[in-house]
């Protein structure tokens, strides 16, 4: 059982899906949690899901905008205290083939998924360093960082960028005792991507998962709790795949040797 009663945890993209699952897990572990999201109605519903506790703070944030991110961090500190754990989760998941993709579509994904992680981690890390306070930064990538998918060049590129950003930031913040790690989810069933991934694709992906099912926000949240805990004190710059084994290799191939009786 993880105990985060003395922690203030900031989560972006927390209005639904993985972000909400992470916020719920930290809240259940006793933390004060700050939920940031671009969609204010989602934030209101998320706060209700967490029971309207005084340990819950919500604030609209556009992770693409440095001023908006800084305002969120400052407002969080005023409301629930200095941030000790931050999860840069906000992201978008559209589909478009490269030949048809507009510059605007490319920019939206890169700015949200990669620039947003940079701005969130930078803003929180600056506060931690200024206060001389150790902390935990967790970024959310995807199995797409090392496994491409047709129609998702912008998404895959952004998630690969998140991984390398995480590694470099871990190098830079090690002397400040700030751990920086990345979670790479596989297929996760969430509310927002219902219409963004076809049933055909979902079935094809599930068939390659040794565990035999899609992931859930709770699966990702459990990984976040571990990485933010004292048990992960000597882990930094790492990518933790939470994918039911789908990243192990060409799981769709049959047994490669002769059949044994």
Instruction: Judge whether 231 lies within some domain.
Output: yes
* Predicted confidence (pLDDT) per residue in 16-32, tens digit: 999 999 999 999 999 99
Residue 249: is it exposed, middle or buried by C-beta count within 10 angstroms (0-12/13-18/19+)? Answer: exposed
* 108 assigned to some structural domain: yes
60 falls in which pLDDT band (50, 70, 90)? very high
**CA dihedral sign, ordered 139, 37, 35, 46:** negative
- In a domain, residue 206? The reply is yes
Task: Indicate whether 82 pLDDT > 80.
Answer: yes
For 193-216, how does the pLDDT look when each residue is reduced to its tens digit (9 = 90+)?
A: 444 667 888 888 899 899 999 999
For the annotated catalytic residues, the residue numbers are 155
Distance CA 178, CA 128 (A): 8
Beta bridge partners of 10: 34, 86
pLDDT at 81 over 50: yes
> Within a domain: residue 259?
no
Number of domains in the chain: 1
Q: What is the mean pLDDT of residues 64-91?
A: 98
Q: What is the CATH number of the domain that holds 198?
A: 3.40.50.720
Percent of the chain with pLDDT over 70: 95
Tokens linked to 21: 């699952």
Q: What domain range is 104 assigned to?
A: 8-245
Asked, for residue 158, whether it belongs to a domain, the answer is: yes
On the CB side of 128, CA atoms within 13 Å amount to: 26
Asked if residue 153 belongs to a domain, the reply is: yes
**pLDDT confidence bin for 150, thresholds 50/70/90:** very high
Mean pLDDT of the chain: 94
């Amino acid at each position: 059982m993880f105990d985060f009663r003395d922690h203030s945890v900031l989560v972006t993209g927390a209005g639904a899906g993985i972000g909400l699952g992470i916020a719920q897990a930290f809240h259940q572990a006793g933390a004060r949690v700050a939920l940031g999201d671009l969609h204010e109605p989602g934030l209101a519903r998320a706060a209700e899901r967490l029971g309207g506790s005084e340990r819950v703070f919500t604030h609209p944030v556009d992770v693409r905008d440095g001023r908006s991110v800084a305002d969120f961090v400052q407002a969080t500190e005023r409301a629930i205290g200095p941030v000790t754990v931050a999860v840069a989760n906000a992201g978008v998941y559209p589909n478009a083939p490269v030949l048809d993709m507009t510059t605007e579509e490319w920019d939206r994904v890169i700015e949200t998924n990669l620039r947003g992680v940079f701005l969130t981690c930078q803003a929180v890390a600056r506060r931690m360093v200024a206060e001389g306070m150790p902390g935990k930064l967790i970024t959310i990538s995807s199995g797409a960082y090392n496994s491409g998918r047709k129609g998702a060049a912008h998404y895959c590129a952004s998630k690969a960028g998140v991984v390398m950003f995480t590694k470099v930031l871990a190098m830079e913040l090690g002397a400040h005792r700030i751990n920086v790690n990345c979670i790479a989810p596989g297929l996760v069933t969430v509310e927002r991507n219902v219409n963004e991934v076809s049933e055909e694709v979902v079935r094809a992906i599930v068939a390659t998962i040794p565990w035999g099912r899609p992931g859930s926000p709770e699966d990702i949240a459990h990984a976040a709790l571990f990485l933010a805990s004292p048990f992960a004190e000597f882990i930094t710059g790492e990518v933790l795949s939470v994918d039911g084994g789908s990243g192990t290799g060409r799981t769709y191939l049959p047994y490669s040797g002769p059949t044994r009786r």
